[in-house]
Chains A and B, each alone.
Chain A
Amino acid sequence: MGRMFAVAAGLAAVGAAAAVYAVKQETRRVESEVHALERAIERAESDIAGLKAERYWLGRPERIDQLSREQGLGPIHPTQYVRPPPAAKQSPSARGVGQ
């Protein structure tokens, strides 16, 4: 009886060790996945920051000014304003919506 118990306990210990090992391996795998994701996020954030800076560098006013003048455009003159058409001034009535 005692021997059976010892064998069973031994097997249980081996089984528990194997389970712990498996969990540990899984944890390591997940950890490395998390690190890889974190690195990917950091790279993406870094790319976004770089692209944002580049976008505003490309859109800097003196560049747009020069490009638009080359196209024959210029700052708006007070006489270039137009009155909005009467329809645009009226807000749509609730009854008209969806009809």
Chain B
Amino acid sequence: MTGAALAPPAASVRLRLLAVVLALGLAMAAVAGQLLRLGVSGGASGRVASLETVVRTFARPDIVDRRGRILATDVAANSLYADPAVVLDRDEVAEKLSRVLPGLEATELRALLADRNRRFVWIRRGLSPREAQRVHDLGLPGLSFRREPKRVYPVGALVGHIVGQVNPDNRGIAGLERHIDETAGLEAVSGASPPLSGPIRLALDLGAQHAVADELRLAMQRYSATGASAVVMDARTGEIVAAASLPQIDPNVAGAHLDPARPDRLQSGVYELGSILKALTVAMSLEDGLATLDKTYDVTKPLTFGRHQIRDLHPPGRPLTVRDIFLQSSNVGAAMLGLEAGTSRQLVFFARMGLLEPIRTELGPVAPPLLPERWDGIETATISYGHGLALAPLQFAAAAAILVNGGRRVAPTYLRRDGEPGQGEVVLKPETSAAIRELMRLNVTMAHGTGRRAEVAGYRVGGKTGTAEMPGVGGYREKSVISSFVGAFPMDEPRYLVLVSLFEPQSGEGTSGGITAGLNAAPVTGAIVTRIAPVLGILPRGIPVAP
């Protein structure tokens, strides 16, 4: 037995051993091969994985106008970064890159690449395809591209103040872009993936927006104005269908919203708006039963408050009815109405019209109204004709909408509202609103109305002019004014409210040397209505049409 156990293994056993050895050898070779493959090709994916924790960008929803036309969208763009540990010659990289990427400082780049402990350094975000190709052609080791979303604004400056801007990470920092971040939220993405959420639909109509901006641009040239603004608001819902403030900002230019020379005058500044506030004063008197349109006031003499006098630009020389106070824009008459009502009644009425509390829109808080430190006597009188109370034009437009829409409060919004209009709180009697509509229409149709240059055949425009001297050192500047026109159309059932303001206009074509609103802001409003009414689907009435 022992001899048999120590005998050399039989051939079959050797064969089996050989098979086992071969199998093990093959298995080891497979493992070695796999390791080799991973060693050769697996490095890049490992680096990308580590990159994901460092870099986060955000996909944003499109912003579209009320008809679905794109105002802001994401496109994929290449962003350039470097791995300083892999860069061989940082001087060469800095020098060559600064040559193909304008604005890139070679010294700064050299300093960035000096720290070899860092594995990731952004060099330039959102390159154009041509710039990316130029960098690629340099063939420099240590540089890589990353595809990420880049915000673009196809219509540019036309909607610059409204859409706002984003930072290089595609996060909103101004305007509606910031509102989207604060309300809708964003999706963090690792590449240039499109957003999953649907577009943000604005109330804005791009065609109307262009017409408004174009007419303001022409007006600035014609009257050598330093600025201009206009808002067109649905008087029933508060939807803003056009809003422009010139000079505009181009959201495609980084940091444009910070330019102090290009403020959004509609929302971020407060101004004394002058006689357009007389519409509120007359409405207050009618609403509280203090006056009727036919009640007469003796406006022949200036009103005196100590050393201050309130007088009319063109004294009428006869008593005026409330109707004529409005149509002739009498400061003395408006002051008398205000004084008759008294300070407390005026405060209550202005508060009801939403003029004393700060408001906000999707673009952020509207500049709060600047109230007089002391509101009594002379302030009550001057505020009645639009001096002494500074308002953001948008806040005044919301109050003016109440005057013409039957008395319902509206909240201005840049977003499209679905549903039935007219849900706001009623703060004014419908009869008062009807009377103001009548006065506004008369002011445009009557031969001596200050707003007659706003008339557009067929569209039944109505409105009120206002020319306010701008404050300066030691008092008001007579030659620097803000000319405004607040109008609505069609006046028999107003759908849209228009507020146009020209800042520091000079005399121009057809003004006979004058700078009052009836000579400049009123015709600009007429020109705007002519262009936007067809765009907004308002049909002309009462003029011959082709059969």
CB distance from A93 to the nearest CB of B (A): 25
Instruction: Please name all residues of chain A whose beta carbon is closer than 8 Å to the beta carbon of B546 when the two chains form the complex.
Output: 79-83
Which of B147, B207, B458, B547 is close to A78, meaning CB atoms less than 8 Å apart?
A: B458
Question: Taking the complex as formed, is B302 at the interface, i.e. its CB lies under 8 A from any CB of chain A?
Answer: no
Q: List 17 A-B contacts (CB under 8 A).
A: A49-B75, A50-B75, A53-B75, A53-B154, A57-B155, A59-B69, A60-B155, A60-B156, A60-B158, A62-B158, A75-B534, A76-B534, A77-B530, A78-B533, A78-B543, A79-B540, A83-B547
Which of A53, A78, A81 is close to B70, meaning CB atoms less than 8 Å apart?
A: A53
The contact string, 1 if C-beta is below 8 Å from chain A, for chain B 182-211, is 000000000111100000000000110111
How many residues belonging to B are interface residues under a CB distance threshold of 8 Å?
37
Question: Taking the complex as formed, is A45 at the interface, i.e. its CB lies under 8 A from any CB of chain B?
Answer: yes
Query: How many Å lie between the Cα of A75 and that of B215 in the bound state?
Result: 12
Q: Is the CB of B158 within 8 A of A75?
A: no
The contact string, 1 if C-beta is below 8 Å from chain A, for chain B 149-166, is 000101110100000000
The contact string, 1 if C-beta is below 8 Å from chain A, for chain B 436-470, is 00000000000000000000111100000000000
Question: Taking the complex as formed, is A46 at the interface, i.e. its CB lies under 8 A from any CB of chain B?
Answer: yes
Question: Taking the complex as formed, is A72 at the interface, i.e. its CB lies under 8 A from any CB of chain B?
Answer: no
Q: Is the CB of A75 within 8 A of B211?
A: yes
Instruction: Please name all residues of chain B whose beta carbon is closer than 8 Å to the beta carbon of A83 when the two chains form the complex.
Output: 545-547
Instruction: Please name all residues of chain B whose beta carbon is closer than 8 Å to the beta carbon of A59 when the two chains form the complex.
Output: 69
Q: Is the CB of B210 within 8 A of A61?
A: yes
Question: Taking the complex as formed, is A26 at the interface, i.e. its CB lies under 8 A from any CB of chain B?
Answer: no
Question: Taking the complex as formed, is A5 at the interface, i.e. its CB lies under 8 A from any CB of chain B?
Answer: no
Query: How many Å lie between the Cα of A82 and that of B540 in the bound state?
Result: 11
For the A-B complex with A42-B191, A53-B75, A61-B155 known, give 7 more contacts whose Cβ atoms are closer than 8 Å. A45-B194, A46-B76, A53-B73, A61-B158, A75-B530, A80-B546, A83-B547
Cβ-closest chain B residue relative to A56: B154
Q: A61-B207, A81-B540 are in contact. Are A56 and B69 (CB under 8 A)?
A: yes
Query: How many Å lie between the Cα of A59 and that of B70 in the bound state?
Result: 10
Q: A60-B154, A60-B158, A62-B210 are in contact. Are A49 and B73 (CB under 8 A)?
A: yes
Instruction: Please name all residues of chain B whose beta carbon is closer than 8 Å to the beta carbon of A57 when the two chains form the complex.
Output: 154-155
Cβ-closest chain A residue relative to B531: A75
Question: Taking the complex as formed, is B539 at the interface, i.e. its CB lies under 8 A from any CB of chain A?
Answer: yes
Q: Is the CB of A46 within 8 A of B192?
A: yes
The 4 closest A-B pairs by CB, nearest first: A61-B210, A78-B540, A56-B154, A78-B458
Instruction: Please name all residues of chain A whose beta carbon is closer than 8 Å to the beta carbon of B250 when the two chains form the complex.
Output: none
Query: How many Å lie between the Cα of A56 and that of B65 in the bound state?
Result: 12
Instruction: Please name all residues of chain A whose beta carbon is closer than 8 Å to the beta carbon of B169 when the two chains form the complex.
Output: none
Query: How many Å lie between the Cα of A42 and that of B189 in the bound state?
Result: 13
The contact string, 1 if C-beta is below 8 Å from chain A, for chain B 320-338, is 0000000000000000000
Cβ-closest chain B residue relative to A43: B76
Cβ-closest chain B residue relative to A58: B154
Within 8 A of A (CB), among B128-160: 147, 152, 154-156, 158
Query: How many Å lie between the Cα of A62 and that of B206 in the bound state?
Result: 10
Q: Is the CB of A56 within 8 A of B155?
A: yes
Query: How many Å lie between the Cα of A76 and that of B211 in the bound state?
Result: 12
